[in-house]
Amino acid sequence: MATVAQTNLTAIRDSLIATVAAQTAAWEAAGCPPTFSIDGQSYDWNNWLAGKMDAIEKASQLAQKIAGPFIARSYGRP
């Protein structure tokens, strides 16, 4: 049974994956280059994507840690 924390982390991970997929599709459809500069503002697709992928990996790792398995050991009398 999933805990609230697991459910939230899974939702965060799924949201990040959807964001990456939507942005990738939009940029490919528009034909935008991965790195560009407009009016002094620079946009670097590679750094943005690396940050999102790192967040996805961390959310997945945390969800797996929360899921267990946990081993309870008892020594002596309960």
At 43-78, the pLDDT tens digits run 888 888 999 999 999 999 998 888 877 777 778 765
Q: Residue 35's pLDDT is what?
A: 80
3-state DSSP assignment of residue 71: coil
Q: Residue 32, Cα to own-chain centre: how many angstroms? A: 24
Count of alpha carbons within 13 angstroms of residue 56, beta-carbon side: 14
Q: What residue type is assigned to position 14 of the chain?
A: D
Averaged pLDDT score across all residues of the chain: 85
d(CA 18, CA 23): 8
Q: Residue 12's pLDDT is what?
A: 93
pTM above 0.75, yes or no: no
Q: Residue 1's pLDDT is what?
A: 59
